[in-house]
Structure 1
Amino acid sequence: MLLSEAWDKYHSDKRIEGYSSLTLKMYGFQCNLLKRYFGDIRICDITTENLKQYLVEAGEHLKPSSLGHRIRFIRSLFKWTHEEGYILKNPAAKLKEPKLGKRIPKFLTKHEIEHPRERCHTPMENALFEFFYSTGCRIGEVAKINRDDINFTGNSVIVHGKGDKEREVYFNIRCAIWLKRYLEEREDNQPCLFVTERKPIRRMSIDTLRHIVKRISNRAGIKKTIHPHQLRHSFATHLVDNGAPLEIIQSLLGHEKSETTRIYAHLSGKLRHDFYSKYF
């Protein structure tokens, strides 16, 4: 089986398993890099040494985290081809990801949040910014939401996270006000929550959502560049600062592992300072 054929079958299976389109897009990019390096050869001809050499050369110009993404895709692809019986031995079985130092996610302080908030020019920009910040949703989750998903009675919405897992998230009153204003001024019949500003009117893509947050960021006049995931980090950090239990934050963020959420405990400057002042 050729590498391209293996990818086509792998891609189809992972779509059925519920892998997100964004994950599959990134994996497709990684597969193209493999094909560029090896050519479209038979997948059974790729050895462990071949893969190690590929990763050594890639590692010369990649950050450890990016190299880790590459290794995870390779392990996933070759594990699948082995389990499906297309290869007798898995050459990627013993590949290990580089060790990463713990990175504290970048976030905005409560004071810094006010700068982009004040620089939103339209109900759409206000609604979009407040929705990202008050729900802590991932950008891919926001892109999928429809108007009918919004429950204004409870200020909540069911989102589809990684692996198409559903969870309920909540938004604050400020967000609810701007969402209602935005939806009331719209004249289209599109079911999606956020639509493009120009015709033809259609669902906002992930790239468009990211562009609008960046546009607001550029007006804000602060040195930090704001992106949607930074608003997610800010949401989690401010919950920790206000004393929210980590298991609740884990549920709201849709993290499978508590270790992923635990990183935000390191961001809680105010809370740690309060304890320090109390006990020292």
Structure 2
Amino acid sequence: MKKDTLQAYEQYLILQKGLSTKTIANYVTELNIFQNFLLKKWNVSLQKATLEQIQSFFAQLKGTETTYNHYITVLKGYYKFLLKNQQLLNFHIEDLEYKKRKKTFPTVLKLEEIQALLQASKNTIFEKRNQTMILVMYCSGLRVSELIQLTFDQINFNEGYIRCFTKGSKEKIIYCGDLLKVVLQPYLEKIRPQILKYRTSNYVFTNKIGEPLTRNYIYTVIVNLAKKAKIKKKISPHTLRHTFATHLLENGADMRSIQEMLGHQDISTTQIYTHLSNQKIKENYLKYFKDLEEKE
């Protein structure tokens, strides 16, 4: 792939699409994977490749439908950019087809499981910090990437909200009310000073030298706590985000408000939670009438 073409595409993603630095870096890495494959197998560039040559990449690609479709999205975006700049292709973009994904619903925890997750922690300062992180994710629906980058200037205790930026650098406000103080203040006043000692940091959740925690660390913490709590569901930090949205919906929050708090650009992404909520309604209905039958 010509360096100037790739650089032009990077600039296009920054200026026209407003994608995050991390997303753009991932796209560039993936395009280079495509390019290296095509050069090695067919001795052809990404710009000159035929549909058959591109499909040979997907034939050897390992992973789920999600992985497959992500690569299709990356490719289509790049090829559309080339067409926009009057570069001819050897195939029609429409022929790059997505795989149909099986309909799956996200895992959601019950309130008792959230409590079990918290109670599985020991009483050390680091585990108390981890408890606070779990509560913040559950009470705010923050992505793990948003949590680890959370700084003090993003929190307004007086108004009871967290301000952060979603994918694509769009600002979102999450109102937690007095719950924000209840959850965070004991950690900030007692636990965090013991972790940092004489050090300072603008990050809310840090390791002992004031650096932000990593995604992998938080994932490991939650998986290990789930095992200790004997939660059989396969969970991750994102499960807390799904649980936040589902519990809001089940308790009467409207779809548009949940969309804003999650930072979803398209409400159809948020509507997955209506299926989960409807399933809960169905379960309650069947349980109620089963109990009724047993009483008669």
The Cα shift of 1:220 comes to 2.4
Q: Quick check: 1:134–1:172 contact (8 Å CA) kept in 2? A: no
Q: Percent identity?
A: 25
The Cα shift of 1:183 comes to 2.1
| CA deviations over 1:88-127 (Å, ceiling 9, x no partner) | 2374621121122321111112221111121234331122
Distance in 1, Cα, partners of 2:92 & 2:6: 15
TM-score norm. by structure 1 comes to 0.85
Distance 1:36 1:24, change over 3 A: same
Counting only pairs closer than 5 Å after superposition, residues 187-226 of structure 1 correspond to structure 2 as 187=196, 188-195=199-206, 197-199=207-209, 201-226=210-235
Partner residue, 2:38: 38
Counting only pairs closer than 5 Å after superposition, residues 1-280 of structure 1 correspond to structure 2 as 2=1, 6-16=5-15, 17-39=17-39, 41-58=44-61, 61-85=62-86, 87-89=87-89, 91=91, 93-94=93-94, 95-121=96-122, 122-171=127-176, 173=178, 176-184=181-189, 185-186=192-193, 187=196, 188-195=199-206, 197-199=207-209, 201-268=210-277, 269-273=279-283
Distance in 2, Cα, partners of 1:155 & 1:35: 49
Partner residue, 2:294: none
Q: Which amino acid aligns with 1:42?
A: S
Q: Which moved more, 1:161-170 or 1:24-33?
A: 24-33
Distance 1:91 1:213, change over 3 A: farther
Partner residue, 2:293: none
The Cα shift of 1:252 comes to 1.5
**Superposition RMSD on alpha carbons, in Å?**
2.6
Q: Quick check: 1:3–1:43 contact (8 Å CA) kept in 2? A: no
Query: SS in structure 1 opposite 2:174?
Result: strand
Runs of 5+ unmatched residues, structure 2: 290-296
Query: SS in structure 1 opposite 2:272?
Result: helix
The Cα shift of 1:49 comes to 2.5
| CA deviations over 1:151-203 (Å, ceiling 9, x no partner) | 112321111001100010133655533422222233432112221x243x212
Distance 1:212 1:146, change over 3 A: same
Q: Quick check: 1:123–1:178 contact (8 Å CA) kept in 2? A: no
Distance in 1, Cα, partners of 2:203 & 2:149: 7
Distance 1:182 1:256, change over 3 A: same
Q: Quick check: 2:35–2:45 contact (8 Å CA) kept in 1? A: no
Runs of 5+ unmatched residues, structure 1: none
Q: Quick check: 1:55–1:67 contact (8 Å CA) kept in 2? A: yes
The Cα shift of 1:130 comes to 0.7
Query: SS in structure 2 opposite 1:157?
Result: strand
Distance in 1, Cα, partners of 2:170 & 2:91: 32
Q: Quick check: 2:120–2:229 contact (8 Å CA) kept in 1? A: yes
Give 1 or 2 for the bigger CA radius of gyration: 2
Distance in 1, Cα, partners of 2:35 & 2:240: 36
Query: SS in structure 2 opposite 1:89?
Result: coil
Distance in 1, Cα, partners of 2:85 & 2:202: 40
Distance in 1, Cα, partners of 2:156 & 2:110: 29
Q: Quick check: 2:154–2:162 contact (8 Å CA) kept in 1? A: yes
Distance 1:160 1:263, change over 3 A: same
Aligned length: 272
The Cα shift of 1:29 comes to 4.1
Distance in 2, Cα, partners of 1:272 & 1:138: 29
Query: SS in structure 2 opposite 1:43?
Result: coil
Q: Quick check: 1:146–1:193 contact (8 Å CA) kept in 2? A: yes
Distance in 1, Cα, partners of 2:119 & 2:90: 54
The Cα shift of 1:82 comes to 2.6
